[in-house]
Amino acid sequence: MMARENDVKGAGAAHDATPDLSQAALIALDWGTTSLRAYLFDAAGKVLATRASTAGIMNLPVPAEEGGFDVAFDEAVGVWLAQAPGLPVLAAGMVGSAQGWVQAPYVETPAGAQALVDGIVRVRAASGAEVAVVPGVLEPGALPNVMRGEETQIFGALTAAGTVSGADSGASGATSNVDDTGDAPPALIGLPGTHAKWVVVEGERIARFYTFMTGEIYAALCAHTILGRTMKHPVDPDTAAFLRGVSVAREQGCVGLLATAFSARTLGLTGQLAADEQPDYLSGLVIGHELAGLEAALARRDVSLAACAPQLIGAEALCERYRLALAQFGCDGARLVRHATEHGLWRIAVQAGLVTPR
């Protein structure tokens, strides 16, 4: 079972600053481009402590060629390893990319958890610890797609026995080890964010996935086009303006974002959209176009978005926006999955034999 995470650097979380290392069984790292989060697990899969830093692979405390990965690693988990030097260490995310600590080549779709385990690459830290690095996933083709880190969250979401919406997932079956080749129905998993992913899972394998540059393009539109000039960011999110944008994207989707985006300006010019409605309206437009594109991609394979019950992984407020937007597409069954990262890291560590669950 997995406890709610405690960030030892977070305000008010000092009660967990000195975990009981005698119970520790695994260190696992979610090491991305701009952040590093470390989890300390006991042998039952419970998170004893977490530590967070901004030492992402593009934000190391010293340059990589001067040992930046070792420095960041020591700062993150050295205090744990000093007390429990033999702990196994697993890491997932951009740390395994070409710009990472060690390159863990992509596993190709369809990719199950065992394929990820088989693709693990190891790197020896200067301190002597061996770090097992989870590979990313590549879907080859005319429009290739890649992920690093999300694959671990996805297997975490698939592992979690109970996914919830609006309540804490206090206990879940993090130690279950589902057969890769099972015949579970296809699942759709969404990971909103800078580069949003939508992943189709068939038979416990990542069958195919799509990347939408939604968060990054939204930010560029706000900061670096004429649309930002008339915007005022409201104190509270404007859900009505957001849903209006989703609706326009859905109804006018085929004209494309290049055209509908201009309406954030012209609706303002014609007095139909206030300055402080424009940011959320535009957010609704881009997320609406993402979902319209997803709907079209699924339809090519005779899958109806409306008939899916997607699991959403990500920041809670953003996932809630997606849940509302999905409902406009007739997709009412979306639900938030919490702790997917911890679940996934634990599952892969178990399956890789790094830790034996009790």
Binding footprint of its own copies on the chain (CB under 8 A): 138, 140, 142-146, 195, 210-214, 216-217, 219-221, 223-226, 248, 252-263, 266-267, 269-270, 272, 286, 289-290, 292-293, 296-297
Q: How far is the CB of 268 from its own copies (least distance, A)?
A: 10
How far apart are the C-alpha atoms of 332 and 108, rounded to whole Å?
A: 31
> 3-state class of 28 per DSSP?
strand
Q: How far is the CB of 300 from its own copies (least distance, A)?
A: 8
Please state the φ and ψ torsions of residue 83, each to the nearest 5 degrees: -90, -25
Q: Which is nearer to its own copies, 21 or 303 (CB)?
A: 303
Q: Which is nearer to its own copies, 255 or 275 (CB)?
A: 255
Q: Which is nearer to its own copies, 11 or 254 (CB)?
A: 254
- Please state the three-class secondary structure of 285-344 as a single string: HHHHHHHHHHHHHHHCCCCCHHHCCCEECCCHHHHHHHHHHHHHCCCCCCEECCCHHHHH
The position carrying tokens 């957010």 is 283
Q: Which is nearer to its own copies, 16 or 280 (CB)?
A: 280
How far apart are the C-alpha atoms of 187 and 301, rounded to whole Å?
A: 14
Q: How far is the CB of 201 from its own copies (least distance, A)?
A: 19
Q: Which is nearer to its own copies, 184 or 220 (CB)?
A: 220
Beta strand pairing call for 36-42 and 205-212: unpaired
Compute the chain's Rg from CA coordinates. Answer: 21
Q: How far is the CB of 261 from its own copies (least distance, A)?
A: 5
Q: How far is the CB of 255 from its own copies (least distance, A)?
A: 4
Q: Under a CB-based contact definition with an 8 Å cutoff, are residues 184 and 195 in contact?
A: no
The distance of Cα 48 from the centroid of its chain, to the nearest Å, equals 22
Q: How far is the CB of 242 from its own copies (least distance, A)?
A: 17
Q: Which is nearer to its own copies, 35 or 145 (CB)?
A: 145
Q: Under a CB-based contact definition with an 8 Å cutoff, are residues 222 and 204 in contact?
A: no
Q: Which is nearer to its own copies, 72 or 227 (CB)?
A: 227
Q: How far is the CB of 15 from its own copies (least distance, A)?
A: 39
Enumerate residues 6+ apart whose C-beta is below 8 A from 212: 195, 196, 197, 198, 290, 293, 294
